[in-house]
Structure 1
Amino acid sequence: MTHGQGILFSFCIASLLTLSACTWHSKQREKTLLLSSFAWKNCGAPDDPAVMKSLSIQPDPIKIPGKVVASASGKTTVPLASPLSMNVSLEKEVAGFWVKIPCLEQLGSCHYPDGCSLLDMLIPPGQECPEPLHTYGIPCHCPFKAGDYSLPQSEIKLPDIELPFWLTNGNYRAQGVVASNGKEMGCLKVALSVHSAK
């Protein structure tokens, strides 16, 4: 199995690992952020070229700051290159109903014209990919070659982060769709609960 990743794998791993460090402000605080009940599934058509095959993140709940043990695998049957548009929908459960969160400061239910450019902003070209991607030779920039990709079980340190004020305690679900030239490449749904604890 080739050590690398498809675009969904890249955004789910590389972006999750670096987005907090690059776009959220580090902050010392008295409370710990707890992420629990993490679940995911593919939501694209059966013939979508990019799919996540497995994704495991432990423990439950995840403590931030703290450490997690993660593993993942995915594949793409076609090369994926810029521009790759991303449509993200983020919802919060309120009184038993799911309410869509608008796009605020590039977070929430947003459209990104080119996810490849996002990765270049998070990890400047020429800079080594963050761990554990670097250790396993997993790329974090476009283009992504067709093939199978795998991240073995790895320990990842999560820094302290300051979430936007509107991301308060509650249950959330998100869907991300990656497309190229108007054709869907892949779709991933994620659900989790966010809580703060002393």
Structure 2
Amino acid sequence: MTQRRVLSRFGSAILLFCVLQVEGANDGVIIKRFLSYNTKQVGQKLRVVNLKYNRCGPESDPGRLDELEITSTPSGDVLVTLSASTDVDLEPPVQVTVEVYKRLFRSWVRIPCLNNVIGSCVHNDVCQHGFEECPFESLRKNSVPCHCPIAKGTYAFSLVEIPVPRIPQAKIVVGDYKAQVVVRTHNTQIACYNGSATVEALSQ
């Protein structure tokens, strides 16, 4: 599984869209390549601000997103804090449907699915892209699963740091975004959430 898909699971799809602008839609780029990306290249780092989200499914949905916070370090890397729970075991296939829109003047423009990785995509089974071992120490310490099946329960981690490369095309990516994420398994809806955020470019 690529680092792009890892980040999308934690709600960082916007950052991965930036990476695609730099590298092109090459789904074969592995996690080590992303983590060793040349952060000294010309360009700017981005940060996510004004993150808001709300439940769009019924209270009976077994999945809940209790907390999601995305902040930036002084150097421009990302810190992710998340707490989520499920009242049922998640067995494959687990389908995730994502719809992403970017504000253009007074209208919202749908971002198409790019290489079946980022944008408005239907991921028919995210379980196919799990890790045997989670790539971040904080996840391992908190027993957060990175592969299916996922047992019912509450999972949380705090301040997982994700390196962010400089983006030459930063001006293209900055702006206001909104998205909807729906999770289903075996034709049963697990969770539905709407979210919005603003992407800003950090000063050089």
Same fold (TM over 0.5): yes
Identity among equivalent pairs (%): 26
Instruction: Give how far 1:155 is off.
Output: 5.0
The residue number in structure 1 matching 2:25 is none
Q: Is the 8 A contact 2:85 2:153 kept in 1?
A: yes
Report if aligned partners of 2:55, 2:192 keep a CA contact under 8 Å in 1.
yes
Code of the aligned partner of 1:32: K
Look up the equivalent residue of 1:55 and give its one-letter code.
Answer: L
- Structure 1 residue runs of 5 or longer lacking an equivalent are 1-9
Aligned residues of 1:86 and 1:113 also touching (Cα < 8 A): yes
Distance 2:171 2:113 in 1: 11
In the aligned structure 2, how far is the partner of 1:142 from the partner of 1:44?
23
Partner of 1:30: 43
- What is the aligned residue count? 178
Aligned twin of 2:184: 179
Pick closer, same or farther for the CA change 1:163–1:79 going to 2, 3 Å.
Answer: farther
CA RMSD of aligned residues (A): 3.2
Inter-CA distance 155–180: structure 2 relative to 1 (3 Å threshold): closer
1:55 Cα deviation after fit: 2.1
Contact 1:64–1:158 (CA under 8 A) maintained in structure 2 = no
1:134 has 2:146 as partner: no
Q: Which residue of 2 aligns with 1:3?
A: none
Which residue, 85, 91, 94 being the options, matches 2:95?
A: 85
Q: Deviations over 1:11-39 (max 9, x none)?
A: 227x77x9677398534233222322122
Q: Aligned pair in 2 of structure 1 residues 108, 78: CA closer, same or farther (>3 Å)? A: same
In structure 2, the partner of 1:110 is: 121
Aligned equivalent of 2:59: 46
Partner of 1:193: 198
Matches of 1:171 and 1:156, distance apart in 2: 23
* Corresponding position of 1:101: 111
Partner of 2:10: 12
Instruction: Judge conservation of contact 2:96–2:182 (CA < 8 Å) in 1.
Output: yes
Contact 1:65 1:161 (8 Å CA) reproduced: no
Range with bigger deviation, 157-166 or 76-85: 157-166
Change (3 A) 1:67 1:104: closer
- How far the C-alpha of 1:43 sits from its partner, in A, is 1.8
The alpha-carbon distance between structure 1 residues 175 and 99, as it changes in their structure 2 partners (threshold 3 A), is same
Structure possessing the higher relative contact order (Cα contacts under 8 Å, 6 or more residues apart):
1
Hey, which of these two has a bigger chunk of helix by percent?
2
1:46: how far off?
1.4
Aligned to 1:5: none
Give, in whole Å, the separation in 2 of the partners of 1:163 and 1:85. 33
Q: 1:90 to 1:162 in 2, by over 3 A?
A: same
Question: In terms of mean alpha carbon deviation, does 181-190 or 78-87 score higher?
Answer: 181-190
Relative distance call for 1:132 and 1:170 in structure 2 (3 A) is same
Structure 2 unaligned spans of 5+:
1-7, 20-29
Contact 1:82 1:116 in 2 (8 A): yes
SS in 2 for 1:133: helix
